[in-house]
Amino acid sequence: MDQSVVGILFGSFVVLLLIGAPITVSLAGAAMAAFLILGKNPISFVQIAFTSVGSFPLMALPAFVLAGALMEAAGISRRLVDIAESLAGPITGGLGVATVLACLFFGAISGSGPATTAAVGMLMIPAMTHRKYDLRYASAVTASAGGLGIIIPPSIPMVIFGISALGMAPPPEAVAKYGPFASVSISKLFIAGVMPGLLMATSLLVLNYIISRKQGYKGLSEGWSLGEVGSALRRGIWSILAPVFILGGIYAGIFTPTESAVVAIFYTLFVGLFIHRELTFKNLFNSLRTTTWITGRVLLILFAATVFGRLLVEQRIPATIADSLLSWTDNLYLIWVILIVFLLFVGMFMETLAAIMILVPVLLPVTYMLGVDPTQVGIVVICALSVGFITPPLGENLFVASGIGGASVESIVGKALPFILALTAAIFIIAFVPGISLWLPSKMGY
């Protein structure tokens, strides 16, 4: 490992971040500086970046973004919220429960944390304040539940993790010690995310109940009405069928995750145009514009992060970190604690997809040497980084919720802190109990 190159790579990256450069510029600038120090041809920088977007699975990224935008425009998200409200019924803190359930439903068709927060928050934050919920609490519970959007499949970060991990072969010494490792696939990641996503949601529901009972936030009704539940289900049957149809097709092997994203688009167009009849040309244009903006932003990060990651591997930085960590301790639980705390810290400052692209080459060698299934690593990484959506200074969900409800970001953070702690506790359980992530894939033949 060339110490000067490492210093230039990380030094330039940190300096550019500190002076306020966007993450893409920071990654690209640091990588280019290292390229010049190494005497590499800058043309190869462009070639590596261009090759990074040539994989078939990556086509799922813009397709899932477009599907999520279209589903909001087609009235699917509003019907999902109605179903969630009817199911919450008389439960203490019913609107908080409905918010978490709605984020679960929408996360199953969106794959994005801020998109889930925006779609559900536009409906639920005003509804909660109307029923005398504290605006800051309403914003906090919505922002916290919005992070479920990247854990419940389909998930855009899972697609990026799967692509990043495909070329990462386990070291020969790890294979000699633990035998062949299970392969990483986006489909397996999708299946593995179901149980952890439900556990994360449960932690939010329990905390919401405790806080709502203390604050006197009552349920939505005196009791459950089968008529209201049935009516909401009838109105939203096509909305409920969306994740069932999309995920069922993946799990049944009918189509790949990439193909399922295209299926989701055509399904939403059909429902929006011919069933709900709410998808107008203006809404369609806005959805395309949103997709173009989000996809372009992500791809630029992907360009730069791929080159940055390639330099990390070439300089053997991941292997050095793995050796250093394992020479200090080989206790799996202690290493999980270190990695999760590190991921929570990174999530505070770095965009999720960029963090995944940079950290996968670093984390996988460590976990391979400990015999950890890479699929579980992916789930823990994504769960930990999802908390970054509600931790400042980045905290994208905080800004979305603040923009919708009008509460200051600072005031929302105070109310979100208990949810951050609850989610962190759930992440440790997911890391320490591999069966939570791996049981369902094993039952489905992965």
241-267 per-position pLDDT tens digit: 887 777 788 777 788 777 887 888 898
Segment 65-89 shows an average pLDDT of: 80
Q: Does residue 220 or residue 98 have the better pLDDT?
A: 98
pLDDT category, 380, cuts 50, 70, 90?
Answer: very high
Residue 3 phi, psi dihedral angles, 5° rounding: -60, -40
Q: Does residue 358 or residue 442 have the better pLDDT?
A: 442
Segment 211-240 shows an average pLDDT of: 82
Burial class (CB in 10 A: 0-12, 13-18, 19+), 40: middle
pLDDT at 4: 76
pLDDT at 223: 67
Task: Using the predicted structure, report yes or no on whether residue 361 has a pLDDT greater than 90.
Answer: no
Query: Tokens representing 96?
Result: 């908080």
pLDDT category, 148, cuts 50, 70, 90?
Answer: very high
Task: Using the predicted structure, report yes or no on whether residue 379 has a pLDDT greater than 90.
Answer: yes
Listed residue (96, 47, 114) closest to 298, CA to CA: 114
Lookup result for tokens 């929302």:
412
> Which range in 221-225, 254-258, 385-389 is most confidently predicted, on average pLDDT?
385-389
Segment 126-143 shows an average pLDDT of: 91
pLDDT at 56: 64
Segment 299-309 shows an average pLDDT of: 77
pLDDT at 419: 97
pLDDT category, 340, cuts 50, 70, 90?
Answer: very high
Listed in sequence order, the residues at least 6 apart from 417 whose beta carbon sits closer than 8 Å to its beta carbon are none
Task: Using the predicted structure, report yes or no on whether residue 1 has a pLDDT greater than 70.
Answer: no
Segment 381-408 shows an average pLDDT of: 88
pLDDT category, 318, cuts 50, 70, 90?
Answer: low
Lookup result for tokens 């996968």:
360
Q: Does residue 410 or residue 111 have the better pLDDT?
A: 410
Task: Using the predicted structure, report yes or no on whether residue 417 has a pLDDT greater than 90.
Answer: yes
CB-based contact 204:100 (threshold 8 Å): yes
Listed residue (91, 93, 81) closest to 138, CA to CA: 93
pLDDT at 54: 67
pLDDT at 2: 59
Task: Using the predicted structure, report yes or no on whether residue 384 has a pLDDT greater than 70.
Answer: yes
- In tens, the pLDDT along 153-197 reads 888 899 889 888 877 778 788 888 788 888 788 889 999 999 999
CB-based contact 48:90 (threshold 8 Å): no
Task: Using the predicted structure, report yes or no on whether residue 403 has a pLDDT greater than 90.
Answer: no
